[in-house]
Structure 1
Amino acid sequence: MSAASWESLRNAAGPVSRETFDRLVAFEEMFQKWNRSINLVAQSTAGDVWERHILDSAQLWRIEDKARRWVDIGSGGGFPGLVLAFLLAGRDGASIDLVESNRKKAGFLQAVVGQFGLPARVVARRIDESQALVVASEIVTARALAPLSTLLELAGPWLTSGARGLFHKGRDYRAEVQESVNRWSFDLVEHPSMTDPGGVILELSNVRPV
């Protein structure tokens, strides 16, 4: 990978060491090998994993780089959860739980965690079965998982206990927000996506059922 790729990572995430960049490059190579056999992401985006998935995930670090306890629900191929685990590495006491019920995808997540010694734990359970196993989270993340109203249901036990949500959303996010306010109250900050001109990162806090 070129110096331009390192610069693109720093533009998305903020200051990132060369070591972290090199580890993410190695992760991308590992990802591509696994993706050929178990379809971790749609084939239409597999040719641009760096921009479409790694940088898109890394931009959460620019929004929140202080929290130490994270949970990523529906982790799938590891976006954003594994990318955040690479960024969390080296920070004392920091970790992320990766919740993924698909056995093959959970196996991939565990393989990456083991290969790189990441500060992450794979919880191979359904999201609604994992809530008692993942406690005291400060940030909940999800990407390409479900409409916002469903995300609030799934992440509700963490969000209503004080965690904030950072959720990737596409250009139709306003309709999802409008649908959600009928059942939930929350404070909302919209962060324009650095990788998708029509997308946003929705930051939700003080979440409560109506």
Structure 2
Amino acid sequence: MSEPSPTEQPPVDPEFGTLNEALAHFEIELEQPQVELLDRYREVLWRFNEQINLTRHTTLAKFVGRDVVDSLELAKHIAQGNRVLDVGSGGGVPGLVIAICRPDLKVSVCESTQKKAKVLFAMVEELGLSVPVLACRAEEALELSTYDTLTARAVAPLAKLLYWFNLHWDAFDELLLIKGKSWVEERAEARHRGFMKPLELRKLGDYPMLGGGESVILRLWRKETDEP
């Protein structure tokens, strides 16, 4: 077997015995009640994952190093008390993780795949979270209510997201996205299709991913409004 080249980083998936150990490894500090609720969420997520495909992150290292890290990096940029709609929540990342770690926020989760939406309902009920679950497309949700912040991770390329929300910017103030290294190409495609003309985009930060690579946080908002 050949050795990895200097530019390639082999996958890293350290083993941990408890969620507290994994959080400490990634230098994440949470109140113990939040840790306990987060661990319950992980257990419920993995249990449902045996019935329906919700996540590939089925080790403590991947759960914390990808799901929790992504969610908390995103949450850093959400103002206190904001009304948040998480788009395409799937198994609850980042929406439910943000709701657990940022109880000051008013988080709703939106999932158009009915099987996954039913699982979200069940998870929210079992965990006792005050998180509305919307079993519909985000565009339909935005026709019924308004939000301060929309969030999304691994839902669709930027151009497709902006196509979906093109007629709904009156219903929310900002869009926060977790993207990978292809975000520059996605921005170019969105510009080519004309979706960026009325919008501002700012890269808020970047951080390494477990196993190599980099994630970025992007914020988009309408030009005629003040920067959030």
- Structure 1 counterpart of 2:157: 147
Is the 2:20–2:35 Cα contact (8 Å) retained in structure 1? no
Q: Unaligned 5+ residue runs, structure 2?
A: 1-17
What SS does the aligned partner of 1:46 have?
coil
2-structure distance, mates of 1:83, 1:2 = 14
Say which of 54, 64, 67 aligns to 1:50. Answer: 64
1-structure distance, mates of 2:132, 2:26 = 24
Cα deviations by residue, 1:127-149 (Å, 9 ceiling, x for unpaired): 232222232x1110111111101
Alignment root-mean-square deviation, CA? 2.3
What SS does the aligned partner of 1:38 have?
coil
Is the 2:23–2:64 Cα contact (8 Å) retained in structure 1? no
What SS does the aligned partner of 2:209 have?
coil
Say which of 73, 80, 85 aligns to 1:66. Answer: 80
Q: TM-score scaled by structure 2? A: 0.77
Q: TM-score scaled by structure 1? A: 0.83
The alpha carbon displacement at 1:155 in A equals 3.1
Is the 1:99–1:127 Cα contact (8 Å) retained in structure 2? yes
2-structure distance, mates of 1:134, 1:111 = 23
- Structure 2 counterpart of 1:21: 35
What SS does the aligned partner of 2:200 have?
strand
Q: Which amino acid aligns with 1:138?
A: D
Is the 1:167–1:201 Cα contact (8 Å) retained in structure 2? yes
Q: Across the two proteins, how many residue pairs are aligned to each other?
A: 199
- Structure 2 counterpart of 1:40: 54
What SS does the aligned partner of 1:84 have?
helix
The alpha carbon displacement at 1:51 in A equals 1.9
Is the 2:109–2:133 Cα contact (8 Å) retained in structure 1? yes
1-structure distance, mates of 2:223, 2:101 = 27
Kindly tell me: are residues 124 and 53 of structure 1, through their superposed partners in 2, closer, same or farther at Cα, counting changes over 3 Å?
same
Percent identity (aligned): 28
Is the 2:174–2:221 Cα contact (8 Å) retained in structure 1? yes
Q: Which amino acid aligns with 1:169?
A: K
Q: Unaligned 5+ residue runs, structure 1?
A: none
1-structure distance, mates of 2:134, 2:22 = 31
Structure 1 segments of 4+ aligned residues over 6 angstroms from their partners: none
Larger helix fraction of residues: 1
User: Is 1:138 the equivalent of 2:148?
Assistant: yes
